[in-house]
């Protein structure tokens, strides 16, 4: 088997040394491990939804009409809503654009979402290596070929514009895209 895969055992030895070093490093510095776990837990608790925004801003919510309160609870908007009401319903905009034309001010709040993009690639490689091959008396010197075929799937998340809300003189005048 060693003749078929000359570098296999060498690779396994290095992987074992890497795993051993990784394990010892985590034991030597448990503070880093604890801090990493705490950061992961805290970041997962910070999701924003209409209910959490209402709880953090009860005065804004109480100032809305009963119809708008119902819309905000379900994450929807309507024409004539104020910016704070839209914030409660949809959250903080990812970007804002302002246009001033005469006495009218038009503002656009853009919301993005992450869209998964699946990719896959195939690869083929062939190359020659020089050096010793084999063990013992019958070993030879010279070149010998290596080849391989690979497949690597990957997943990436790409931000895309999901919706925009338009304000004229600080009130909702329209929207486009996905209602949230």
Going from N- to C-terminal start, the domains of the chain cover 1-46, 47-177
110-165 pLDDT, tens digit per residue, is: 999 998 998 888 777 766 655 555 555 555 555 556 667 777 888 989 999 999 99
Taking the model in full, what pTM does it have?
0.57
Cβ burial 128-158 (10 Å sphere, 16+ → b, else e): eeeeeeeeeeeeeeeeeeeeeeeeeeeeeee
């Amino acid at each position: 088997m060693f003749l078929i895969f000359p570098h296999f055992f060498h690779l396994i030895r290095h992987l074992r040394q890497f795993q051993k070093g990784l394990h010892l490093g985590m034991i030597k510095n448990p503070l880093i491990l604890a801090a990493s776990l705490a950061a992961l837990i805290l970041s997962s608790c910070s999701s924003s939804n209409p209910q959490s925004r209402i709880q953090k801003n009860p005065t804004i919510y109480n100032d809305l009409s009963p119809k708008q309160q119902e819309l905000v609870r379900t994450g929807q908007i309507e024409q004539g809503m104020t910016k704070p009401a839209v914030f409660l319903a949809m959250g903080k905009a990812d970007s804002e654009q302002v246009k001033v034309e005469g006495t009218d001010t038009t503002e656009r709040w853009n919301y993005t979402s992450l869209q998964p993009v699946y990719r896959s690639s195939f690869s083929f490689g062939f190359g020659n290596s020089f050096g010793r091959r084999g063990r013992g008396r019958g070993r030879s010197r010279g070149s010998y070929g290596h080849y391989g075929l690979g497949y690597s799937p990957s997943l990436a998340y790409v931000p895309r514009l999901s919706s925009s809300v338009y304000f004229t003189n600080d009130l909702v005048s329209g929207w486009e895209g996905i209602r949230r």
